[in-house]
Amino acid sequence: MATAISMPKLGLAMKTGTVGKWLKQEGDSIKKGEALVEVMTDKITNKVESPAEGILLKIVAAKGTKLPVGGLMGAIGEAGEDISAILAAGPVVEGAAEPKGKAKAAASDGGVKSASPDGKVKISPAARKLAEENGIDYTLVSGTGPEGRITREDVEKAIEEGVGSADDRPTLKVMPYEGMRRAIGENMLASWTSNAKVTHHVSVDMSGILALRRKINEGLKDKDRISVTALLTKAVARAIEINPSVNMTLDGDEIKTLQEINIGMAVAVPDGLIVPVIRKANEKKLTQLNEEIKDLAKRGRRNKLNVDEMNGATFTITNLGGYGSVDWFTPIINPPEAAILGVGRTVDKPVVVGGEVVVHPMMGLSLSFDHRILDGAPAAEWLAVLIQLIENPQKIFI
C-alpha cells in the first residue's frame, strides 16, 4: 500500500515547515529510514527519513513550498500503484513557493509563487519564457497586468532597462540563497530593521577566571575539563540573576522581565549559524553547563538538534574569541530577546594596576540591546555586574 510523505513535527512549537532539497527524485527507489528530503524551519534544516520502502511515486510539494505540520509532501509505493486517494486527501499548501529563474514552474494557471512579500508572483507563460531566455529574475519585475500579473511587455521593458538582469561577473563559487542561509538572512534583516539597537563595548581582565579554570582542571581528563565558555555562561547567568534588566522582551504593549534564564549559545555550522538553548542556566552546576554546551555544539554541527532545543532563549551569547581575530563586534539581537552578548578574543595587553603598568589577558565584550526596551544606563549597569563577576570569579558561585 502506498504511503504518504507528510511534513513532520520536529518540535513542540513547530506549526509549519518549508520543503528544502529533495534527495531523491520521482521514480527513485528508497529504503525505509533513508534520507529523503530536507525540511527547513526558521531555526534549523533537518533531513527527513523515508517512512517506507518503495518507489518515490510523486513529489507533491516542490522545493520552497511551505506546509503545515502533516501537510502532504509526496507519496511512496510500488511502481504503477494508484495514489489518487493520497493525493485527494492532501491538505491545502500554505504559501507555496516555486523555483525562480530557469526552474520549471508547477502552477497550472501560468502563475508562479515566489519569495515576494505576499508570497505570490503572477506572470503569464509568454512573459515567463521571455524572462528565462534573457536571464531575467522576474520576481524583481513590476507587473502591469490584471491583479499585478507580469506581462510580456513588462519583461521586454525590464530587459531594456536592465531590471532583474543576472550578474555575469566571473565568480569563484556560486551557492543558492536558500535554506538555513536564507532563514538566517531574513531573521537578521528583520531584527536589524525592527529593533532600536545600541552596542556597548568594553574590555575585561580575564586573569582571575583563567586562573580559576586552571585550578579546577588540575588532574581532570581532557573530556572533563571545564571550558572558558562554560565559565562565561555561568557568569552571565549569575549576572542576570543579580540584575535581570537584559532578560526582558517586548510583547505587544508590554515589556516583560522573564523569570527563567535560558541562555542561547550561537554555534557556527557549515551552512550558517544555529542557536541551541541552555534552559535555566542559572540553576545548573558548572559541570552540567560544561557538558550541555559541548553536547549541544556537537549535535548542532551534525544537524542532530530538534526545534525545541533551538527555541525559548531569553538572552544569547555569541563567541568569536576562538578565531583570534576579533576584539569587538556588533552582534545582532535574536528576537524576541532584548539583548545579546558578543565575546571577542583574549589578548595580552598592558594595563595599569595599582599605579603600575602590567600585562594582563584582556577580552572584548560587546553588549547589543534594544533601546526600545532597555536604556543605555541600565545596560551599562548590567555590564558592570558581569565585569565584576568575571574579574572576581569566586563571586559567581556565591
Section 167-194 average pLDDT: 79
The pLDDT value recorded for residue 369 is: 98
Confidence of residue 99 (pLDDT cuts 50, 70, 90): very low
pLDDT in tens, 132-164: 777 787 777 888 888 888 999 988 888 877 666
Say if domain 179-397 classifies as CATH 3.30.559.10. Answer: yes
The pLDDT value recorded for residue 281 is: 97
Section 318-344 average pLDDT: 96
Section 321-349 average pLDDT: 96
Annotated active-site residue 360? The verdict is: no
What residues contact residue 312 under an 8 Å CB cut-off, 6+ apart?
260, 262, 277, 279
- pLDDT of 367 strictly over 90: yes
Question: What is the pairing mode between strands 277-278 and 35-40?
Answer: unpaired
The pLDDT value recorded for residue 131 is: 82
Beta bridge pairs of residue 351: 358
Place of cell 549559524: 273
What is the CB neighbour count within 10 angstroms for residue 359? Answer: 10
What is the CB neighbour count within 10 angstroms for residue 162? Answer: 8
- What is the C-alpha separation between 96 and 115, in angstroms, rounded? 9
How far from 75 is each of 4, 208, 305, CA to CA, in Å? Answer: 5, 60, 26
pLDDT in tens, 269-280: 887 889 999 999
The active-site residue, picked from 28, 82, 348, 371, is 371
What residues contact residue 233 under an 8 Å CB cut-off, 6+ apart?
263, 265, 278, 281, 289, 293, 317
- pLDDT of 32 strictly over 90: yes
Q: Where are the domains of the chain?
A: 3-89, 98-168, 179-397
Yes or no: say if 74 and 86 are a contact pair by the CB < 8 Å rule: no
- Regarding predicted confidence, which is higher, 225 or 120? 225
Residue 227 backbone phi and psi in degrees, to 5: -90, 160
CATH architecture of the domain 98-168 equals: Irregular (4.10)
- Regarding predicted confidence, which is higher, 171 or 57? 57
The pLDDT value recorded for residue 261 is: 98
pLDDT in tens, 191-242: 998 999 999 999 999 999 999 999 999 999 999 999 999 999 999 999 999 9
How far from 258 is each of 95, 226, 244, 250, 312, CA to CA, in Å? Answer: 33, 28, 8, 11, 11
Preceding peptide of 336 cis, ω within 30°: yes
The active-site residue, picked from 28, 82, 224, 375, is 375
* Whether pTM exceeds 0.75: no
The pLDDT value recorded for residue 1 is: 82
The pLDDT value recorded for residue 270 is: 80
Section 54-74 average pLDDT: 90
Confidence of residue 166 (pLDDT cuts 50, 70, 90): low
The pLDDT value recorded for residue 113 is: 32
Q: How far is CA 231 from the centre of its chain?
A: 25
- pLDDT of 167 strictly over 70: no
Residue type, 344: G
Question: What is the pairing mode between strands 315-319 and 263-265?
Answer: parallel
3-state secondary structure of 87: helix
Exposed, middle or buried, 9 (CB in 10 Å: 0-12/13-18/19+)?
middle
The pLDDT value recorded for residue 332 is: 96
Yes or no: say if 131 and 112 are a contact pair by the CB < 8 Å rule: no
pLDDT in tens, 279-322: 999 999 999 999 999 999 999 988 888 888 999 999 999 999 99
- Portion of the chain with pLDDT greater than 70, in percent: 90
Question: What is the pairing mode between strands 267-269 and 263-265?
Answer: unpaired
Q: What DSSP assignment string belongs to 150-191?
A: BPHHHHHHHHHHTTTB---S--S----S-HHHHHHHHHHHHH
- Portion of the chain with pLDDT greater than 90, in percent: 58
CATH architecture of the domain 3-89 equals: Beta Barrel (2.40)
What is the CB neighbour count within 10 angstroms for residue 336? Answer: 16
Largest CA distance in the chain: 86
* Weakest-pLDDT range from 24-28, 110-114, 210-214, 256-260: 110-114
- pLDDT of 94 strictly over 50: no
Beta bridge pairs of residue 362: 205, 347
